[in-house]
Amino acid sequence: MKVFLASRNAKKIEEMERILREHLPDIEVLGLDDVAHYEEPVEDQPTFEGNALLKARAGLAATGLPSLADDSGLCVDALNGMPGVLSARWSGQPKDDARNNRLLLDQLADVPDERRTAHFQCAVAFVHPTCEQLTSGVMPGRVVREVRGTGGFGYDVLFEADDRPGLTTAELSREDKDAISHRGWALRRMAPIVTRILGGPGPA
């Protein structure tokens, strides 16, 4: 059973496949590098949900496969919810995690610890020839003052989740991160929907 994920991020593809396999053990998630090249849409929507749908619709049109897409980002209270939908390209093009993290630290340099609250937000879209579905997830926490950890990607090295204080999400095991992450929540909500639509047996 194959679905397409509109992403080149190998870690994100692996994460999505790992969580979906809790419901669909035989599922294979293909990324952009696994299919014929097509023109990706510009992510110009003002919401995570809008961008996720945009990417999933384009994926279905280009590949003919049921398509998943997610849009996620870090929303920092002291920055009025930014970088938000601009998270991946916060420091400009080309996208660069290390540069984004440096910029975020610079922007929060004078912000006291008690005001460094933030949350990760994720929207997952599933587009099938017969329907479209959306789910979402949130992971509340705070931005720390220095890069820590080698796991995850993006802003994980700067984010401590409220559910795992003292460790950045880049310092968590994959299983611990999946259990609390914004993408984990959104995917666990989406997995039974995908199972039902694709005709899988669902969890035992």
Please tell me the predicted confidence (pLDDT) of residue 200.
Answer: 54
- Coil, strand, or helix at residue 113? helix
Residues in Cβ contact with 188 at an 8 Å cutoff, skipping those fewer than 6 apart: 19, 22
Nearest one of 96, 98, 114 to 106, comparing CA atoms: 98
- Local confidence pLDDT in tens for the 204 residues of the chain: 899 999 888 878 887 888 888 888 888 999 999 999 999 999 999 999 999 999 999 999 999 999 999 999 999 999 999 999 999 999 998 889 999 999 999 999 999 999 999 999 999 999 999 999 999 999 999 999 999 999 988 999 999 999 999 999 999 998 899 899 999 899 889 988 988 898 755 444
Please name the residue that has the structure tokens 């280009």.
Answer: 62
| 153 is known to lie in a ligand binding site | yes
**So what's the pLDDT on residue 150?**
93
The reply to whether 161 falls in a domain is: yes
Domains contained in the chain, number:
1
CA 78, 53, 59, 19 dihedral sign is: positive
Residue 128 pairs in a beta bridge with: 131
Q: Which pLDDT belongs to residue 204?
A: 40
In a domain, 94, yes or no: yes
Angle value at C-alpha 148, between 183 and 32, nearest 5 degrees: 40
Catalytic residue (one of 33, 44, 71, 113): 71
Q: Is the residue at 98 inside a domain?
A: yes
Place of tokens 């666990």: 188
Whether residue 71 lies in the annotated active site: yes
**In-domain check, residue 63:** yes
133 within 8 A of 66, measured Cβ to Cβ: no
Q: Is there a binding annotation on residue 154?
A: yes
pLDDT for 195:
84
Q: What pLDDT sits at residue 191?
A: 85
Cα distances (angstroms) measured from residue 150 to each of 56, 142, 154, 156, 174: 29, 18, 11, 9, 11
Q: Are 150 and 134 a contacting pair, CB within 8 Å?
A: no
CATH code of 88's domain = 3.90.950.10
- Reduced to 3 states (helix: H, G, I; strand: E, B; else coil), residue 111 is coil
- The answer to the question of residue 90 being in a domain is yes
- Cβ(43)–Cβ(54) below 8 Å: yes
* Domain span holding position 25: 2-198
Give 113's Cβ-side CA count (13 Å radius). 4
The continuous run of DSSP H or E covering 29 comes out as strand 28-30
Is 183 annotated to bind a ligand? Reply is yes
pTM of the model: 0.87
Could you tell me if residue 204 is inside a domain?
Answer: no
How much is the pLDDT for 18? 84
Angle 168-173-176 (CA atoms, 0-180°, nearest 5)?
Answer: 85
Asked whether residue 71 is marked as a ligand-binding residue, the answer is: yes
Per the domain annotation, does 203 fall within a domain?
no
